[in-house]
Chain A
Amino acid sequence: MLLKKMIAVCTFAVSALTITPAMAAYPEKPITLVCWSSPGSGHDLMARYIAKLGEKYIGQPIVVVNKKGGKGKVAMSYVLNQKADGYVIMTNTRSMTKRLKPTGGSIAIDSFKYISRVVQDPFVIVVKEDSPFSTMSELVTYAKNNPNKIKVGGYSTQSVDEGLVHDIEKISNINLNYIPYKGGKEPVVAVLGGHIDVAIANPSEMMTSFQAGKLKALAVTTEDRFSPFDDIPTLKEQDINNVTVHWRGVMASKDVPDEAIKKLDNMIQKVLEEPEFKKFLNSSNMLSGYIGSDKFGEYVAQQTKK
Chain B
Amino acid sequence: MIDNLLLGFSTIATFPALFAIVAGVLIGIICGVLPGLSASTAVALMVPFTFGMDPVVSIVLLVSVYLAGEYGGSITAIAIGVPGTPAAAATMLDGYELTKQGKPGLALTTSVVASSIGGMIGAIILFCFSEPLANVALSFGAPEYFALAVFGLAIISSLASDNLKKGFIVMFIGLFLKTIGLDPFSGEERFTFGVPKLMDGLGFIPALIGLFAMASVFTDIDKATAKSRAIALSFAMPKIRQLLCMWKVYLHSSILGSIIGVLPGAGATIASFICYNEVKRFSKKKDQFGKGCLEGVAAPESGNNAVVGGSLVPLLTLGIPGSGTAAVLIGALMLHDIQPGPLLFQTNGNIVYGIFAGLFVACLAQLFFGLIGVPVWIKVISAPKALLLPVIASISVVGSYSYNNSIVDVWVMLSFGLLGYLLKKFHYPVSPIILALVLGGILEENFRRSLMISEGDFSIFVTHPISAVLLLFAVLSLLSPVLFNRLAKVKS
Taking Cβ atoms with an 8 Å cutoff, the residues of A that contact B are 38-42, 45, 48, 52, 65-71, 73-74, 77, 148, 151, 157-158, 177, 179-183, 185-186, 188-190, 192-196, 204, 207-209, 211-212, 214, 279-280, 282-284
Contacts and interface: CB of A to CB of B under 8 A. Distances in A.
Interface string B402-420: 0011100000000000000
Contact of B141 (A38, A185, A193, A207): A193
Main secondary structure of the interface of B (DSSP, over half): helix
B138 A192 contact: yes
A208 B340 contact: yes
B48 A48 contact: yes
Given A180-B185, A207-B339, A214-B342, A40 B141 contact: no
A204 B319 CA distance: 10
Given A70-B196, A212-B343, A45 B335 contact: yes
A69 B185 contact: no
A179 B45 contact: no
18 contacts: A40-B44, A40-B47, A45-B335, A69-B197, A69-B199, A69-B406, A70-B197, A71-B182, A157-B186, A179-B453, A181-B449, A186-B264, A188-B320, A193-B137, A208-B341, A211-B343, A283-B334, A283-B335
B331 A157 contact: no
Given A182-B445, A185-B321, A212-B341, A38 B44 contact: yes
B199 A193 contact: no
Interface string B178-189: 000010111100
A185 B142 CA distance: 14
Contacts of A39: 41, 44-45, 47-48
Interface in B167-205: 182, 184-187, 196-200
Interface in B332-359: 332, 334-337, 339-344
Interface string B291-325: 00000000000000000000000000011110000
Contact of A208 (B44, B47, B344): B344
A282 B335 CA distance: 9
B455 interface: yes
Nearest to A157: B187
A187 B138 CA distance: 11
Contacts of A196: 453
A179 B331 contact: no
Contact of A209 (B44, B196, B327, B341): B341
A199 to B, nearest CB: 13
B221 to A, nearest CB: 32
A189 B136 CA distance: 12
B452 interface: yes
Top 5 closest pairs, chain A to chain B, by CB: A208-B341, A195-B141, A212-B342, A70-B196, A193-B138
A70 B406 CA distance: 12
Interface residues of B, number: 50
A208 B200 contact: no
Nearest to A64: B48
Given A68-B404, A69-B196, A207 B137 contact: no
Contacts of A188: 320
Interface of B: 41, 43-45, 47-48, 51, 137-142, 182, 184-187, 196-200, 264, 318-321, 327-328, 331-332, 334-337, 339-344, 404-406, 445, 449, 452-453, 455
Given A40-B331, A180-B184, A283 B337 contact: yes
Nearest to B181: A70
Contacts of B197: 69-70, 74
A77 B331 contact: no
A208 B43 contact: no
Contacts of A40: 43-44, 47, 328, 331-332
Contacts of B141: 190, 193, 195
A189 B341 contact: no
Given A185-B320, A193-B138, A284 B334 contact: yes
Contacts of B449: 179-181
Nearest to B409: A69
A189 B44 contact: no
A73 B140 CA distance: 33
Contacts of B200: 68-70
Contacts of B343: 208, 211-212
A204 B338 CA distance: 12
A127 to B, nearest CB: 15
A192 B141 CA distance: 10
B413 to A, nearest CB: 15
Contacts of A42: 331
B405 A67 contact: yes
Contacts of A211: 339, 341-343
A186 B319 CA distance: 11
Contacts of A182: 184, 445
Contacts of A181: 449
Contacts of A214: 342
A266 to B, nearest CB: 24
A8 to B, nearest CB: 33
Contacts of A180: 184-185, 449
